[in-house]
């Protein structure tokens, strides 16, 4: 069982959960899995990025690795460059959608895929005792920020259409895509209105980006744009907004992409991977086309694992992570946005019509707790969940789970009645909070 690694690498508040020592030892341990190997590192805009970069790189170099700093770029760019340029490992320094005080370390294999659990455990074991090589055996460090151009070129080559005549609002969350996303859509002919497209890492994910689609919706209406696209801090998520302000979340994007790939004969086994949070409406809509939905645990690494196991071409999460294996085996917000736009153009529809899906009303609550495992293991909570399941039998779902990246328990209630879902979610929230306030 991984101790340091969560569902998406190492993550925490810098200098509390994630400090110089942890980053150094992580780099040093990784260097021992590829003696003398090549490692590429990217980062988002967080002000702590340089701090972690120096610590991580020092550990890698001390272990003999050849390190290349690619600068600020999206997570998917690191995965793409790792695979196409033959690096042994790729590392992205980011805490994704989390606030600025957080940061994290995501590690990719030479295949451009997130590390398997067995590899994570090898890295963790190496954290115990660092290795310091003799001076003539230590590694090297260099910067090459031109590598991001190769990723931009890949995206442009992937585009099957022009976007001339479209006015698009881009919300880059003051994160990793702040420069690349506007450049990509401008090169394809779109008129781009930038929102939160700065390098200000202190404002990353701060009431902007994919977690705040209502902010994007107001900008789309203000500028009479055709639609808006919002990314998170490392741009591996995408949420869209229509010209009328309707939110197109990951469930709707997944459904739309599935139908498009199905029509092109590119949806392997006519099956798509979602998660335990994927709306029941998605399953109903896909069923009309004979498309099967498989559910994985929440977390894009689990979606990717299910796709690899079954040989599937598409998977995604409600949060906006989409994996399209024909191109990459990790979530890529820019690639997903690009394909969505091109498919929409080919269909000659606007975004609202193109991505329409009748979803079940769903209520999600996130509660901060000090001990996730204690609360989730409580018999009181188990009985409360069972009572909700019984009430929803045959007409809804309940899911209570621990966040893999934050000290939170998440509640999801789905039924045909939103008021009913809210009431049941409030009930479970009260139970959890009462347990949180009760000493173990």
Residues designated catalytic: 96
Tell me the C-alpha distance between 283 and 277, whole Å. 12
Bridge partners (DSSP) of residue 39 are: 67, 89
Tell me the C-alpha distance between 288 and 285, whole Å. 6
Among 146, 72, 139, 82, CA closest to 114 = 82
Alpha carbon 132 to chain centroid, angstroms:
35
Tell me the C-alpha distance between 193 and 170, whole Å. 6
Residue 363 makes CB contacts below 8 A (sequence gap 6+) with: 411, 412, 413, 414, 418, 421, 422, 424, 425
User: Beta strand pairing status for 89-93 and 102-108?
Assistant: antiparallel
Burial degree of 256 (CB within 10 A; 0-12, 13-18, 19+): buried
Q: Are 7 and 405 in contact (CB under 8 A)?
A: yes
Q: In this structure, what are the phi and psi dihedrals at residue 404, rounded to the nearest 5 degrees?
A: -85, -10
Among 295, 244, 301, 305, CA closest to 272 = 295
Structure tokens at 271: 């099956």
Strand order from edge to edge, sheet including 227-231: 191-195, 167-171, 227-231, 238-242, 247-248
- In Å, what is the CA distance from 5 to each residue of 18, 50, 312, 330? 11, 21, 26, 17
Q: Are 221 and 119 in contact (CB under 8 A)?
A: no
Alpha carbon 230 to chain centroid, angstroms:
13
Q: In this structure, what are the phi and psi dihedrals at residue 271, rounded to the nearest 5 degrees?
A: -135, 145
**Residue 389 DSSP class:** H
Tokens 């917000």 appear where? 333
Among 2, 3, 62, CA closest to 27 = 62
Tell me the C-alpha distance between 376 and 259, whole Å. 37
């Amino acid at each position: 069982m991984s101790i340091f690694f969560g569902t998406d690498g190492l993550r925490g508040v810098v200098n509390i959960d994630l400090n110089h020592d942890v980053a150094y030892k992580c780099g040093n341990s990784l260097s021992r899995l590829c003696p003398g190997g090549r490692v590429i590192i990217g980062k988002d805009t967080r002000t702590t990025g340089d701090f972690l970069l120096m610590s991580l790189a020092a550990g890698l170099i001390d272990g003999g690795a050849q390190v290349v700093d690619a600068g600020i770029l999206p997570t998917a760019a690191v995965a793409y460059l790792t695979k196409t340029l033959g690096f042994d490992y790729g590392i992205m320094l980011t805490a994704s959608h989390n606030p600025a005080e957080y940061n994290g370390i995501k590690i990719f294999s030479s295949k451009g895929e997130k590390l398997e659990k067995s590899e994570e455990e090898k890295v963790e074991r190496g954290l115990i005792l660092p290795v310091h090589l003799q001076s003539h055996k230590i590694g090297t460090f260099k910067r090459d920020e031109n590598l991001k151009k190769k990723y931009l070129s890949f995206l442009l080559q992937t585009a099957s259409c022009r976007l001339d005549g479209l006015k698009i609002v881009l919300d880059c969350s003051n994160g990793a895509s702040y420069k690349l996303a506007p450049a990509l859509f401008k090169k394809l002919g779109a008129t781009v209105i930038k929102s939160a497209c700065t390098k200000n890492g202190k404002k990353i994910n701060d009431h902007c980006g994919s977690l705040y689609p209502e902010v994007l919706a107001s900008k789309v209406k203000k500028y009479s744009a055709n639609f808006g696209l919002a990314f998170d801090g490392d741009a591996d998520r995408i949420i869209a907004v229509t010209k009328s302000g309707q939110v197109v979340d990951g469930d709707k994007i997944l459904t739309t992409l599935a139908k498009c790939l199905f029509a092109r004969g590119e949806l392997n086994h006519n099956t798509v991977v979602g998660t335990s949070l994927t709306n029941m409406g998605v399953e109903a809509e896909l069923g009309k086309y004979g498309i099967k939905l498989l559910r994985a645990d929440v977390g894009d690494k689990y979606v990717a694992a299910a796709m690899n196991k079954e040989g599937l071409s598409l998977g995604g999460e409600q949060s906006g992570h989409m994996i399209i294996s024909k191109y990459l085996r990790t979530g890529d917000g820019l690639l997903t946005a690009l394909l969505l736009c091109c498919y929409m153009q080919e269909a000659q529809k606007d975004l609202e019509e193109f991505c329409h899906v009748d979803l079940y009303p769903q209520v999600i609550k996130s509660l901060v707790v000090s001990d996730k495992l204690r609360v989730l293991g409580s018999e009181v909570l188990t009985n409360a969940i069972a009572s909700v399941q019984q009430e929803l039998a045959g007409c809804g779902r309940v899911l209570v789970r621990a966040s893999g990246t934050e000290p939170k328990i998440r509640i999801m209630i789905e039924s045909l009645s939103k008021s009913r879902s809210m009431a049941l979610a409030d009930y479970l929230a009260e139970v959890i909070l009462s347990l949180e306030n009760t000493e173990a």
